[in-house]
């Protein structure tokens, strides 16, 4: 494990402990970011990306979101994908040893938002008795959300920021710049993806506690 790889993660752990979220630039090497972006475009051309409106839980999200996704396989041998999983595994171990988060699994998908795409304000983890009626399923076990962006030369005027609601009054808009990853506590932060004038690519992961069958 190289010191240069551990340092940003050590900073991430401190920031998550202090604020519940962190933004890290250059999470992967530039060529890895480019490879991942190409991989998503190829999946799109191959028809492997499906509308997230009908998620794997079968719920219809209607107008809530307009992205297309493909679930990512940890067995995928693409070096850039392996590099991503390796970094995430280091992060997972640090979350457990230093923040006692007890996360065991990583659920990941790549996402493509077509021009004008958005994802309305939501939480990645629903509370019990949520009005959406989800009482079982993976979503309740999501502890930490991790969104890695793959967009070269993204400018503020392109839109497409991730708006993170810090509390009642404060929000921050985070641009989906290539190589940037945003980590935040899934149960704590409402967030939304603002519409963009460009296609927008990302790789999203959620660290989960292990799935237990309902009693």
Candidates 17-25, 52-60, 61-69, 119-127; binding stretch for Mn ion (CB under 5 A): 119-127
- Residue 77 to residues 83, 112, 128, 152, Cα–Cα distance (Å): 10, 21, 37, 24
**Residue that the structure tokens 């006692």 belong to:** 100
Note the residues at the interface with ligand OGA (CB under 6 A).
Answer: 111, 119, 124, 147, 162, 191, 193, 202, 204
Output b/e per residue, 97-117; b: 16+ Cβ within 10 A.
eeeebebebbbbbbbbbeeeb
Out of Mn ion, ligand OGA, none, what residue 193 binds, judged by CB under 5 to 8 A for its kind, is ligand OGA
Considering only residues 88 to 117 of the shown chain, the ones binding Mn ion according to CB under 5 A are: none
**Shortest spacing between CB 193 and ligand OGA, in angstroms:** 5
Per partner kind, with CB cut-offs from 5 to 8 A, the member of ligand OGA, Mn ion, none near residue 202 is ligand OGA
Q: Which are the contacts of 194, defined by CB distance < 8 A and separation ≥ 6?
A: 118, 159, 160, 161, 162, 163, 173
Shortest-Cβ-distance residue relative to ligand OGA:
162
Binding residues vs Mn ion (CB under 5 A): 124
């Amino acid at each position: 494990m190289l010191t240069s790889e551990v340092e940003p993660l050590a900073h991430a752990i401190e920031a998550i402990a202090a604020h519940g979220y962190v933004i890290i630039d250059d999470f992967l090497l530039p060529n890895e970011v480019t490879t991942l972006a190409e991989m998503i475009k190829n999946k799109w051309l191959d028809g492997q990306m499906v509308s997230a409106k009908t998620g794997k839980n079968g719920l219809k999200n209607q107008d809530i979101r307009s992205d297309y996704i493909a679930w990512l396989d940890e067995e995928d041998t693409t070096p850039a994908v392996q590099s991503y999983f390796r970094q995430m595994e280091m992060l997972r171990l640090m979350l457990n040893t230093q923040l006692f988060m007890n996360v065991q699994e990583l659920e990941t998908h790549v996402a493509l938002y077509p021009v004008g795409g958005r994802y309305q304000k939501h939480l990645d983890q629903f509370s019990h008795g949520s009005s959406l009626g989800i009482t079982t399923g993976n979503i309740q076990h999501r502890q930490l959300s991790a969104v890695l962006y793959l967009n070269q030369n993204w400018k503020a005027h392109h839109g497409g920021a991730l708006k993170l609601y810090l509390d009642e009054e404060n929000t921050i808009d985070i641009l989906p710049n290539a190589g940037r990853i945003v980590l935040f506590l899934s149960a704590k932060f409402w967030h939304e993806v603002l519409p963009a004038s460009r296609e927008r690519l990302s790789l999203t992961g959620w660290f989960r506690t292990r799935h237990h069958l309902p009693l």
